[in-house]
Amino acid sequence: MKITLINPPSHYLENDSAYPPSGLLYIAGKAEELGHSAEIIDLTGNSDWAEELSHIKKSDLFGITCVTPNMPTVLRILDMLPSKTPVMLGGPHPTALPYDTVTKAKRIHSTVLGEAENILKQILNDAENGSIRQFYYGGEAPLDSIPMPARHLVDLRRYKPGGQAATPVYLSRGCPYRCRFCSNMGYRMRIFSLDRIKRELEEVRNLGFKTVVFGDDNCVIALNRLGVDNVLKIFKDADISFRINQDARHFSKDLFEKYVEAGCTDISFGIESGSQDILDKMNKQVTVGQNAEAIHLAQAAGLRVRAYFVVNFPGETQQSVDETINFIEEHTPNSALLSAFAPLPGSYVFNHPWEYDITYMSPDWSDYFLIGKDGGFKPCYATEHLSFEQQINYHHQIKEALL
């Protein structure tokens, strides 16, 4: 049986092909392990993607991944696929809103909730027998049971995360925290074994990559559970440099120095805001002081620091914006990325809008992107005290401070 997995384009992004479609690579690896053939059609980075899709080869099953702002594009893709071939849809958006998704995307034969690797054997068996179901719940796949991602199905050299020849590697899935801006699906954090991590690094090293990017949002948790020294030794022995993401809940001067010694060059922190009031409203469980100290200690250890900020979370005011600008000026990161808050399906804010006095949420899913071309955004929600005009103004002020 042949399964064709499609990665939709993200027109709102400046560069939608910076990263390979890692989720699809894992699913393709599982399909191949089960004895099926798989291909990946990555429509990102292609202004003429519709033309490419019109020449699609015959397949026994199509699978499409979908994040919220891509939903309108996914509907277009569905209309272009062979009508008699079953289609399954997965990803964060259908997992958060399964019934809304199937109502609007009637062409879908099956919706996969959660992680597809855990249920893929059943899906493919049902597809072969012509008895595919409307919903499959994959839940949480045991990580070391997941085959290596099918990296051979894409040209990894075309992807340059951060503008550099690098490729992502993951230590874990899930997150133990409940930040209220995040569309966390409630999955507990699971961590790959040291042996699996070593195999991943050996594979990307053999593919010619000398730099990897940790795809995890908060790598330090996985490092602590596996043993920081154990994991960093694997990287040092492989002679692979790396970039890492974490927040300031867990850090120390000693930790950052170990990162550098093992080959780490860059670290990204989810700073989010310079206002303690906003951090508390986000349930970020970190202080402004911790964020500041993390930046300074990381830079002192020799790491380049990238800071992620979020503007226009419910409760944002001119005072909180001024506090964020002051934070930027006092604790200057080497680079930064500004996101505009959107109440993504699955997030606490989306599920509890009344707690934030939300008066409007856009019915157009394409409005729910966090960072667009030239760092722009489109307001997709409003509260009694945070209008579209205020959001645009606050975003402009912080963006100017980051220039």
pLDDT at 52: 82
pLDDT at 162: 81
Report whether 85 contacts 56 (CB < 8 A): no
Q: CA–CA distance from 106 to each of 88, 126, 128, 178, 338 (Å)?
A: 11, 19, 21, 33, 36
pLDDT at 62: 96
Tokens of 180: 């209220």
pLDDT at 202: 94
* Nearest CA among 136, 151, 167, 188 for reference residue 27: 151
Report whether 115 contacts 140 (CB < 8 A): yes
Number of alpha carbons in the 13 Å side-chain half-sphere of residue 14: 12
Query: Rounded CA gap, 29 and 26, in Å?
Result: 5
Q: DSSP readout, 346-391?
A: TSHHHH-GGGGTEEEE-S-GGG--SS-GGG-----EEETTB-HHHH
Which residue's entry shows tokens 């990946």? 40
pLDDT at 339: 96
Report whether 288 contacts 279 (CB < 8 A): yes
Report whether 110 contacts 87 (CB < 8 A): yes
Strand (E) or helix (H) holding 36: none
Query: Rounded CA gap, 219 and 36, in Å?
Result: 33
- Rounded-to-10 torsion of CA 164, 368, 401, 213: -20
Amino acid at 361: M
What burial class does residue 230 get, using C-beta atoms within 10 Å of its C-beta: 0-12 exposed, 13-18 middle, 19+ buried?
Answer: exposed
Query: Rounded CA gap, 343 and 282, in Å?
Result: 12
Report whether 254 contacts 297 (CB < 8 A): no
Residues pairing with 39 in the sheet:
4
pLDDT one digit per residue (tens) for the chain, 403 residues: 999 999 999 989 988 999 999 999 999 999 999 999 999 999 998 778 888 888 787 899 999 999 999 999 999 999 999 888 999 999 999 999 999 999 988 888 899 998 999 899 999 999 999 999 999 998 888 888 899 999 999 999 999 988 888 999 999 988 888 899 998 766 688 999 999 999 999 999 999 999 999 988 888 889 999 999 999 999 999 899 999 998 888 899 999 999 999 999 999 999 999 999 999 999 999 999 999 999 999 999 999 999 999 999 999 999 999 999 999 999 999 999 999 999 999 999 999 999 999 999 999 999 999 999 888 899 999 999 999 999 999 999 999 999 8
Amino acid at 115: E
**Is the pTM higher than 0.85?**
yes
